[in-house]
Amino acid sequence: MGTSKFNQILLLFFHLHLLQISCSVFVHSKKQSNLSPTIMFELKSQQIPSGSIRRPTSKLPFHHNVSLTVSLLAGTPPQRVTMVLDTGSELSWLHCKKTPNVNSLFNPLHSTSYSQIPCSSPVCQTRTRDFTIPASCDPNKLCHVLVSYADASSMEGTLAMDNFQMGGSSIPGTFFGCMDQGFSSSESDSMTTGLLGMNRGSLSFVTQMNYPKFSYCISGRDASGVLLFGEVNFAWLKPRSYTPMVKITSHLPYYDRVAYSVQFEGIKVGGKILSLPKSILQPDHTGAGQTMVDSGTQFTFLLGPVYTALKNEYLAQTRGKLKELGDPNFVFQGAMDLCYRVPLTQKSYPVLPTVTLMFKDAEMSVSAERLLYRVPGEVRGSDGVHCFTFGNSDLLGVEAYIIGHHHQQNMWMEFDLVQSRVGLAEVRCDLASQRLGLGL
């Protein structure tokens, strides 16, 4: 799905600032033999075994507000860049300065290791096939790439290659988009923030790094977190529940083959399982209805019939506890129409029914403050407007279930690319950062 998604971005230092809140193309495995046993990613790293090659576990802290962002170095000499962490996108990109007097994130003219990819390159011709819009040839015979997102934002430019650095670890020859044109709901985001594509595509950052797995943990308390590449074996971390990734190799019009898709099996509200036909929770013959774990989207979106069933049950179970907004014309972010009035003087919510998303062999429970979100700037008399943090995909024109990062807070999220599974474990992410020595 991607960036700027529904006006949200993620940062890799886990500086969470949604690009509207999730790193290249490697044809072969990169054996980084020049690395020391321990690699420092902003703070520190821990070496762990991975197959026959000992790969370091790399840790990066991050912060978030609407998106998750991380801080990297790009080019030679290195330029510091901020990128949104997006498990729903493939191509990483930076806003590039190619003309004078233009603000940008990255200046390729100042990098001696920067190179542009010609449209005749096999990378341009074959490795962009999973893009929503395949690459083309620009007037200069360079590989032209364009990425677009569900909130109607888009970026376009040239496929390029340069060196990236993460905590002292050099990642040479990484493919990314050097973007110089685009439309964003927030121009400041497009100029000052890039995107770190982290899905399973051949040009994604994690694929190019050739790490077998990565994990992240988002704190709901202090807008911080950690992104970690490599194995995770910490005594304080609860055992993960693993749900297998769903893979469909056929080209279907509404199916993203390189997304982190999981099998959605149902929803519980306050312990009550909603009556939903299994067929509506699975992709149909067009690919519509897949369930994607997406750090590039803030909230969670469900297909219309499932959203309606959840909304009605939540209304029934909160009647008398919460006061409905009563404004049928107010829809937050164009897809979230269940909103409440909460007194500005009220410091906490009443006890609310937990909403549990059920996947094959794993569950994700959403409770307390993660169930409601105060809409900035919206006041009705002496009340603030707080909206239910689930939305209707149909209103966005998206044919999929999207599990956003807001509901991944205080969950250890592990993406195992070798065994093709997603691991979940409840954890206090602020304490996890401290235990990993990030000091956030």
Which sequence positions are flagged as catalytic?
Answer: 86, 294
User: 50 near 180, Cβ under 8 Å?
Assistant: no
β-pair partners for 136: 144
Whether omega for the bond prior to residue 77 falls within 30 degrees of 0, making it cis, is yes
CA-nearest of 289, 263, 313, 273 to 421 is: 263
Structural tokens at position 20 = 């509207």
Residue showing tokens 């994690």: 206
User: Which two tokens mark 388?
Assistant: 């239910």
Helix H segments across 142-215? 187-192, 205-209
C-alpha separations of 346 from 342, 343, 349, 374, 382 in Å: 7, 5, 8, 12, 10
Burial 179-195 (b: 16+ CB within 10 A, else e): bbebebebeebbebbbb
- Tokens for 32, please give them: 């980084």
Residue ranges with strand state E in 64-201: 68-74, 79-86, 93-95, 115-116, 136-137, 143-148, 154-166, 169-183, 194-197
- Sheet with 372-380: strands ordered across: 323-324, 339-343, 383-388, 372-380
Query: Is the Cβ–Cβ distance between 355 and 335 less than 8 Å?
Result: no
d(CA 426, CA 409): 9
Report the candidate in 84, 217, 218, 69 with the shortest Cα–Cα distance to residue 149. 84
Q: What is the DSSP letter of 404?
A: -
- Bond before 172 cis per omega within 30 degrees: no
Contact 135, 159 (CB under 8 A): yes
